[in-house]
Amino acid sequence: MDPTRLTSLYVPTYPPHPNYLPPPPSWLLPPSQPLYTPSLIQYPWNPFYPIIPPSNVQSSSHSPTPQPTAKQRHRRRQTRRKHATKLTSDTQVLNRSWVNLSEPSQEDKSENLSQSSQEDNGEVQEFSLLSYNILAQNLMDMHEDLYTHCDLVYSKWEYRKYYLLEQLIDSSADILCLQEVERSAYDSFFCPNLKENNYNGAYKCRTGHNNDGVAIFFRMDKFELISYKLIEFNRRCPVLDRDNVAIILKLKLLNSTSSTTDDYLYVATSHLIFSPKAGDVKLAQLCTLFAELRELTIQDKDTHPVVICGDFNFLPNSCLYNFVRTGYLNYKYLCRTEVAGYKRRSSALIPHPLIPPEIGISSACKKMHISDTKFEINDHNSSDITTTIQEIDKAYVLSHPYTFHSVYPHSITEPSLVSTFHGLAFENVDYIFYSSPELETDDEGGYKASRRLKLVSRYSMPPRMDLKKFGPLPNKFHSSDHLQLISKFCYMR
């Protein structure tokens, strides 16, 4: 029983305590009111909820109003994060310039003679490629807690789309690889405007109930579309159950009058899953992309250059990064977060096998028939223990037949580049990889250059301090939370 509701004339029925003192008479007590009146306990959705309680009611610690959610509590708060105060900056343009790679690398020295002779004959064609995550408007509205620094005026699509289009046209890139492109924006805005600038494109929307996807545009006076493939990573299995997609185009270089053979180029772009905890899903999506790419390139008699780019959502020098470059990865004892380079505690190892056999993708990133994916179980004697352990270790090895170089250098000792900057990220997740087959030997035992794609220049990334002064993205002067990557290549014959 609540003692505050006991009257002053209350007399206990049980024998009182020896030190019990009877309450004073009511005329000696000051007038008091209850802590709250039950009739005033209303809720905000009640139209009779009193905005200002009556003055004769004492304040109470009881709060009948439901607490707002975290998203409502931090909605458009300008001082939520430490960098939110750097909203207004005098810097309107980031310090970026073209870096010419005139100095040959060690792997290019053996082919200098052949390249110089080809350049003299005019058999060298240059083309430029851009990779850019333009930030779909529906995703920006869905995750608005990441963009509380951006003013509502500059976050509207009607403001952002013209800045994005201006960046694409001013880049003068021959190939545009875009991620997070809304279906309606592709059909009604980018396609008509880029077509006026002599671009043609292909688009693939994410599966499920998503409205964004990836797109590739190319100049019609520079390339001819030979074939394309739209890839869906959702194969309805535990590790391939996300709606991410990819596009692969096979392009033919035009104006190659001095050459008797046709020059082809494979260009692929993708946007892998964002979650840092889903490193196994990213690895499975990469294997699927390489398997689909291998199925296309294996049909050619000659080896043609390959460029893959996009928002891969893994950090430089991570296991996934090295897997793309070297074509080899042993994922035994690797955690799901560790494989993507994120320093987060996780005890969940990558499952084995990574991709179920019924999907039809082998550990060598090769598409197989379901009948070819059955495992044979053999009995081993005690003398074959070493051989059995080696076979078990090989079962954890993934490989693909390509060797890639990154357009932008990434060093373990130096701070990595930054390609995205918003409320929770200040890191590099965007890449452009170009194929670089190893040098082959001719009949006389000498080395001959088998690589026909050479990096000429790249659009530099801004220094980390300049990007911090510029402020988080997007803002008034930059309409995406990512930076565009641009590179120029030389197609050697």
**pLDDT of res. 121:** 47
270 within a domain of the structure (yes/no):
yes
Question: Whole-angstrom Cα distance, residue 245 to residue 99?
Answer: 32
Domain count, the chain: 1
**pLDDT of res. 116:** 46
**pLDDT of res. 16:** 58
Helices within 298-339 (DSSP H only): 319-326
238 neighbors 279 (Cβ within 8 angstroms): no
pLDDT digits (tens, 9 = 90+) for 236-265: 998 999 999 999 999 999 976 555 578 899
Question: Whole-angstrom Cα distance, residue 462 to residue 466?
Answer: 6
379 within a domain of the structure (yes/no):
no
333 within a domain of the structure (yes/no):
yes
* 268: enclosing H helix or E strand: strand 264-271
Question: CATH code at 245?
Answer: 3.60.10.10
400 within a domain of the structure (yes/no):
yes
445 within a domain of the structure (yes/no):
yes
**pLDDT of res. 68:** 53
76 within a domain of the structure (yes/no):
no
Instruction: Give pLDDT < 50 ranges for the chain.
Output: 6-10, 34-66, 76-89, 103-122, 373-383, 385-387, 439-450
In 3D space, the residue among 398, 400, 399, 406 whose CA is nearest the CA of residue 321 turns out to be 406
- pTM over cut 0.85: no
432 neighbors 487 (Cβ within 8 angstroms): yes
92 within a domain of the structure (yes/no):
no
- Structural domain boundaries, residue 484: 98-371+390-491
